[in-house]
């Protein structure tokens, strides 16, 4: 499969590694003078780092799959998918989508790396708009696998599933939003946690260093291998509904202290419980808790090793 990477700064270069590592041919285009050549240097250095870390078998095998395209048309010709990563302003995004529209094959899908601007802000005017969506990575995507897929109102119904399948095939961990919201999901979660972190410092409750340690030596450990819902699902004998019954009062007070409605009504808790039990039946809760403890032990052994290094 051919993939085009359009915009070859830090984010675009990292995407080229993701697709080439998975065996695809990648054509890289950057409109800036010397941009693609700078990307080639960066890509080679990062692939050597990955090889040294044991994360790719051979940088030398991957590199030849990445080529530099002289024009946008050359980059996207015959491509199944375009990953766009130009500078993030509405104007730049609108310009590149106009340019893409003029040269894109009739079947090619386009994902934008936009971290905050929704696709509706820069794809409304193009003929290919039904084939465009947000595919927002965390930098660098060759190390952090999550990709947020967010459709515009006019994105075709098959586009999110098709890009999701592609992202899974190349080893990423895509998540799908059903519609555009400010900050998508990842920055919403980060933003609400950060807002509380700043408030606790503002109120003189805790230092910046201790707040960081609360996460890096506490909350963040389980969250590095399971999400917040699974964490609480395994933190009460009867799963997430049981957890909500036990701790709803505390969380209502916490949310209330910041003027927020918690909103854990019975219907919502039942819905979360339904989705969790579909993923992990009651009968497997105990085995999964034992798995969590093994993962935690392995993680702490890993951290002990790492903290011994320079």
User: In the range 232-271, which residues lie near its own copies by CB under 8 A?
Assistant: 232, 250-251, 253-255, 257-260, 262-264, 268, 271
Q: How far apart are CA 114 and CA 92, in angstroms?
A: 11
Which residue is it, tokens 């918690």? 262
Residue 282: CB minimum distance to its own copies, A: 16
Strand duo 132-137 + 146-151: pairing = antiparallel
What phi, psi does 293 have (nearest 5°)?
-65, -40
Cβ pair 83, 5 in contact under 8 A: yes
Residue 264: CB minimum distance to its own copies, A: 6
Residues contacting residue 23 through CB under 8 Å, at least 6 positions apart: 65
Find, among 42, 114, 30, the residue nearest to 75 by Cα: 30
Choose the stretch contacting its own copies; rule: CB under 8 A; options: 76-84, 91-99, 100-108, 293-301. 293-301
Residue 165 or 298 having the CB closest to its own copies: 298
**194 near its own copies, rule: CB under 8 A:** yes
Residue 77 or 299 having the CB closest to its own copies: 299
Which residue is it, tokens 């006019």? 154
Instruction: Number of residues interacting with its own copies: please give it, by CB under 8 A.
Output: 99
4-63 residues near its own copies, rule: CB under 8 A: 49-50, 53-55
Q: From the list 45, 195, 270, 286, which residue makes contact with its own copies (rule: CB under 8 A)?
A: 195
130-189 residues near its own copies, rule: CB under 8 A: 138, 140, 143-146, 148, 173, 175-179, 181-183, 185-189
3-state secondary structure of 227: coil
Q: What angle do CA 175, 155, 167 make, to 5 degrees?
A: 35
Choose the stretch contacting its own copies; rule: CB under 8 A; options: 11-19, 21-29, 36-44, 273-281. 273-281
């Amino acid at each position: 499969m051919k993939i085009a990477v359009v915009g070859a700064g830090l984010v675009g270069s990292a995407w080229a590694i993701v697709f080439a590592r998975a065996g695809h041919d990648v054509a890289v285009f950057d409109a800036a003078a010397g941009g693609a050549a700078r990307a080639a240097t960066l890509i080679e250095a990062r692939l050597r780092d990955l090889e040294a870390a044991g994360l790719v078998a051979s940088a030398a095998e991957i590199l030849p799959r990445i080529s530099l395209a002289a024009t946008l048309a050359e980059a996207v010709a015959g491509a199944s998918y375009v990953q766009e990563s130009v500078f993030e302003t509405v104007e730049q995004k609108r310009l590149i989508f106009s340019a893409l529209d003029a040269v894109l094959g009739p079947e090619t899908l386009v994902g934008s790396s936009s971290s905050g601007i929704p696709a509706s802000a820069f794809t409304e005017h193009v003929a290919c708009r039904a084939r465009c969506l947000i595919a927002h990575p965390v930098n660098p995507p060759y190390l952090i696998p999550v990709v947020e897929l967010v459709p515009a109102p006019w994105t075709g119904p098959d586009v999110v599933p098709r890009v999701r399948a592609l992202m899974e095939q190349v080893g990423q961990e895509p998540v799908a939003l059903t519609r555009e919201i400010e900050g998508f999901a990842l920055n919403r979660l980060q933003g609400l946690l950060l807002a509380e972190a700043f408030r606790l410092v503002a109120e003189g409750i805790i230092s910046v260093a201790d707040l960081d340690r609360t996460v890096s030596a506490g909350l963040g450990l389980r969250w590095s291998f399971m999400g917040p819902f699974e964490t609480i699902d395994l933190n009460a004998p009867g799963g997430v509904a049981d957890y909500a019954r036990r701790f709803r009062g505390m969380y209502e007070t916490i949310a209330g202290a910041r003027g927020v409605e918690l909103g854990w009504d019975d219907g919502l808790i039942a819905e979360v419980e339904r989705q969790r039990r579909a993923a992990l039946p009651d009968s497997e809760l105990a085995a999964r808790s034992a798995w969590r403890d093994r993962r935690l032990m392995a993680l702490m052994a890993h951290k002990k090793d790492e903290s011994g290094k320079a």
